[in-house]
Structure 1
Amino acid sequence: MSIALREGIEIVEDAVPEFEAVGAIQRGLHEFNQSMGGSYDREPVTLLVQDAEGKTLGGLLGLTFWGWLFIDWLWLAPEIRKEGFGGELLKRAEAIARDRGCTNAYTDTFSFQAPHFWETNGYAEFGRLDGMPAGHARVWFKKALTG
């Protein structure tokens, strides 16, 4: 189904968009954001926890931009949780971010994904969306990387 709001231009639903369509949206938003906030200077932060055979047992994926560290993913296999790997990943990511001039960090998680881990590591809740998913909440945390 498509809807024309202006002659020759329409809104089209696409359950499996082509890479170019997705890229056009991403590039357009990135260009606008940078025109308003300055260059992103986006750099990935990738830290892996691997066993002796090189199997990945967890890690942290994030990026730095606009003076902030964004932690997108932090996951550990169940058999290595509660052994200090999560805290160490966080410390290393924060050190990388400081080296890149970042002064703050943020992330989001769910209420069933151990939000106390973030609090224990100095992060403070600054937003919550209750009922996402039903019976739980999506929670945002931040931390100053200076002082």
Structure 2
Amino acid sequence: MSLSPDLTDAPTPAETAAVLDSLVAFNAGQGFARERRPLAILLRGADGAVQGGLVGVTSWSWLYVDNLVVPEAARGQGLGARLMAMAEAEARARGCIGARLDTYSFQARGFYERLGYSVTGAIEDCPPGETRWSMAKRLDRA
């Protein structure tokens, strides 16, 4: 098989899908079928516009929290903890045994630790001068 690398900063959706499809096929061959299900809890303003919320997926019996944001003016009211509790409850209902996420040293590590998340890894200088923390919490334990 002859392959040649082609660097681009603008892959088409079909090109991106081709790479993902290849990985999905490999994973399925290892016994891990693709089973991603989106999960979103949206914070809407009085006008119905989305002002923040939580976006993630459940897959392979885990919740993956991709993004969580509470508008600055609404912080300190327990909304972030409420969003996380709702996401974790839905993940448990979907049969998930754990949850994972990433946060940065300029974001909310302490918030997640107060919710029972533990650091599972760190990347220093990502971005430069900061640390990226990977965190997880088991949902199948008391």
**TM bin (shorter chain):** over 0.9
Q: Which structure has greater strand proportion?
A: 1
Q: Secondary structure at the match of 1:10?
A: coil
By how many angstroms is 1:129 displaced? 0.4
Aligned to 1:85: 79
The reply to whether residue 135 of structure 1 matches residue 129 of structure 2 is yes
Instruction: Report the alpha carbon displacement of residue 48 of structure 1 after superposing the two structures with TM.
Output: 0.3
Say which SS state the counterpart of residue 85 (structure 2) adopts.
helix
Runs of 4 or more above 6 Å deviation: none
Larger gyration radius, structure 1 or structure 2: 1
Task: Report Cα offsets for 1:82-101 as digits up to 9, x if no partner.
Answer: 11110000000000000010
Q: Could you say which residue in structure 1 is the equivalent of 2:10? A: 16
Q: What do residues 53-80 of structure 1 show as CA deviations (whole Å, max 9, x unaligned)?
A: 1021210001111110000110111111
CA–CA distance in 2 between the matches of 1:82 and 1:31? 44
Give unpaired runs (5+ residues) of structure 1: none
Stretch deviating more after TM superposition (9-18 or 126-135): 9-18
TM-score w.r.t. the length of structure 1 is: 0.90
- Kept in 1, the 8 Å contact 2:55–2:66? The answer is yes
Alignment length (residue pairs): 141
Structure 1 match to 2:98: 104
Unaligned 5+ runs, structure 2: none
1:125 aligns with 2:133: no
The alpha carbon displacement at 1:39 in A equals: 2.1
Per-residue CA deviations over 1:41-61 (Å, capped at 9, x if unaligned) read 211111001112102121000
**Counterpart residue type for residue 113 of structure 1:** Q
Partner of 1:143, secondary structure, is: strand
Give aligned-pair identity as a percent.
35
Q: TM-score, normalised on structure 2?
A: 0.93
